[in-house]
Amino acid sequence: MDSSNMDLVRICAVAFAAVLAILSLLAGTIAGICRAFPVNAADLPDPGAEEAIRRAAAKAFPNCRVAEIREIKP
C-alpha cells in the first residue's frame, strides 16, 4: 500500500472512533436520564386492551377509526 491509501485508512479509523465515542456519550446520557426519571410499569399502556378497543369499535362502527385512547385515573 502506498501512503495515500494508508492516509485513507487512518482517516476512516479516526472517523469510526469519533462516531463510536459520540454514540457512547449519547448512550450514557440516555441511561442517566432513564435512571433519573424511571417509568412505572403500571403507567404504560396495555397493548392488548388497546387492540381490543380498536376491534370492538371497528365491529360496532365499521367506518370508525380509533385515534387516541386515554385512561382517566381517579
Question: Hey, what's the torsion of the CAs at 26, 43, 38, 21, to 10 degrees?
Answer: -10
Separation between Cα atoms, residue 13 and residue 19, nearest integer Å:
10
Amino acid 50: pLDDT: 87
Model pLDDT for residues 7-35, shown as the tens digit of each residue: 999 999 999 999 999 999 999 999 999 99
pTM, full prediction? 0.53
Residue type, 14: V
Q: With residue 34 as reference, give the H or E element that holds it.
A: helix 3-36
pLDDT of 41 > 90? The answer is: no
Amino acid 6: pLDDT: 84
